[in-house]
Amino acid sequence: MDTPNNLILPALILVPFIAGFACWLVDKLDQHLPRYIALVGMLVTLLLTVVLWQTGTYSYDLGGANPTWAAQFNLPWIQSLGINIHLAVDGLSLLMIGLTALLGVLAIGCSWGEIQKHVGFFHLNLLWSLGGVIGVFLAIDLFLFFFFWEMMLVPIYFLIALWGHNTATKSRVYAANKFFIYTQVAGLIMLIGILGLVAYNATAVTGQISFGYNELLVAAHHLEANNPTLAYAFMVCLFIGFAVKLPVFPLHGWLPDAHAQAPTAGSVDLAGILIKTAAYGLLRFVIPFFPLASAQFADIAIIFGLIGIFYGAWLAFQQTDMKRLLAYTSISHMGFVLLAIYAGNLLTFQGLMIMMLAHGLSSAALFIMCGQVYERLHTRDMRLMGGMRGQFQYLSFFLMFFVAALVGIPGLGNFIGEFLILMGSFEKFPVFTIIAAVSLVFAGLYGLILIHKTLFGVPSEEQKENHANPLKDLNAREVVLLMICALGLLWLGLYPQSFLDISNSSMAWLANSYIPVQEVVEVVQEVTTQVQSVEIQ
């Protein structure tokens, strides 16, 4: 029998879909009506998430082979192929859904004055992309997961191609095509891994086709025990699918162009939510399915992450476009995600949870501010911005606050996340951890460059007339949007325990499924060495 909590799960996906469709239908009646429908739809989604938070029990049987879910919804779909509409929530997915719903509200709020053409169709695409992301966080049938993974790309393609920043259609479509091709190819590679695992399960384990999480978890462990080479290959297929979306160096080429062209709401969606689906996928599927292969792959993954940290920071230094600078900082920060995942203990997983929430809020706020600056100055070129501090009281304060959050100032959420990740990974990977810690200096530098070029210094010739006629500061709607992000970051920074408690059991089960296999690898290596020495003697 379905409990109210179980029925909330499909509602979390259906509400954005239905609201988005309603926005499109009423577009001809009134241009403002779609905005209100979209806002109500995402507020209802956020409210449902809060209900799940308050009423769900987020605890695990750590000794269990399968995870324990706080709520589940299971409906047969394509029974001949073993496919079900199987949704489930635990602490990890709940916090990601809450972030998605909150940033969805902010994305609608920041596009209130920016989007003036095809308003209904815009909100259809925005809400359907958010509904797809929520589906990714809830689906534990791997066919359904892949369905939502691919489905959420199409609305974002339209957001970039139709409402992109550049007046030249060719530039917008190029960025949208690049995003779609990168993510589509990566998705197909991931599909190879999923179908390979399903085929192995059907032929060597159960004799039945199934895309269920628990069945494929058992099949993956069976595969690792009997054919580790094939298991490693399947793990790499899944990793590539998630690595492009994260993005991991050198698979990051789509991100700067997509951010540069996307409307403000699209950038909030991309930076705040979309790249978090990749980290979620690595935690939900790659680590528990292939713990042995992941332990063997850890060094390679972390090296790619460290290269990305410095590469992203270095390219951020070179940028004059405010949005492209922030896009490269996202690439830099994702190196910490890989370090946290492959260090594989409870401390780093919990640090990653806080970091994903904090990065989602801080990067979303900064992209919202890019849109606010562009609306006033009609440029994102930082060389044309100097001296803004004298014109904007609120805008200057919030810009400095969120840059401070992004670079990891104590008291805000990003610092807690980075601190936990570095502390947890030092024992396993001391050299990698020290290198990652050094990169925080670079984060401070590009943060200072952004602040200095935009707020301080002498106004450029193009902007001097604006100083004679002061520009409008942030209005009440814009201040409220930024205050929500600021309060969230302060909450994460000053009292992270409320979030750590929710995700603790989920992360403990993941760490429990990963660490013993690392120990087995070490034991196997030790036994192999002893056998070889006996043979030599």
Residue 532 confidence (pLDDT) above 80: no
- pLDDT confidence tier of residue 488, bands split at 50, 70 and 90: very high
* pLDDT, position 516: 47
* pLDDT, position 524: 44
Tell me if residue 87 falls in helix, strand or coil: strand
- Residue range 148-171: average pLDDT? 81
- Residue range 412-439: average pLDDT? 88
Residue 445 confidence (pLDDT) above 80: yes
Q: pLDDT per residue over 213-262, tens digit each?
A: 888 998 898 888 888 899 999 999 999 999 988 888 888 888 888 888 88
* pLDDT, position 149: 93
Least confident residue range of 90-99, 251-260, 278-287, 490-499? 251-260
**CA–CA distances in Å: residue 217 to residues 213, 241, 255, 514, 518:** 6, 18, 32, 13, 18
Question: Cα(296)–Cα(533) distance, rounded to whole angstroms?
Answer: 23
Question: Cα(156)–Cα(248) distance, rounded to whole angstroms?
Answer: 20
Work out the widest C-alpha separation in the chain, in whole angstroms: 88
* pLDDT, position 536: 57
- The two tokens of residue 502 are 């929710």
87 phi and psi angles, rounded to 5 deg: -110, 145
Residue 132 confidence (pLDDT) above 50: yes
Contact between 39 and 54 under an 8 Å Cβ cutoff? The reply is no
- Residue range 351-370: average pLDDT? 91
Q: What is the DSSP letter of 165?
A: S
Enclosing H/E stretch for 464 = helix 464-468
Question: Cα(151)–Cα(128) distance, rounded to whole angstroms?
Answer: 9
* pLDDT, position 527: 44
Residue 61 confidence (pLDDT) above 80: no
- pLDDT confidence tier of residue 106, bands split at 50, 70 and 90: very high
Residue 168 confidence (pLDDT) above 70: no
- Residue range 273-277: average pLDDT? 87
Q: Ranked by mean pLDDT, which of 159-173, 311-325, 461-475 comes out on top?
A: 311-325
Question: Cα(324)–Cα(327) distance, rounded to whole angstroms?
Answer: 5
Mean residue pLDDT across the chain: 84
- Residue range 381-403: average pLDDT? 81
Question: Cα(40)–Cα(114) distance, rounded to whole angstroms?
Answer: 19
* pLDDT, position 466: 59
* Percent of the chain residues topping a pLDDT of 90: 28
Residue 64 confidence (pLDDT) above 60: no
Contact between 52 and 89 under an 8 Å Cβ cutoff? The reply is yes
Please spell the DSSP secondary structure of 178-238, one letter per residue: HHHHHHHHHHHHHHHHHHHHHHHIIIIISSS----HHHHHHHHHHHHHH-HHHHHHHHHHH
Q: Which of 296, 307, 294, 315 is nearest to 334 (CA)?
A: 307
Q: pLDDT per residue over 3-33, tens digit each?
A: 667 888 999 999 999 999 998 988 877 778 8
Residue 535 confidence (pLDDT) above 80: no
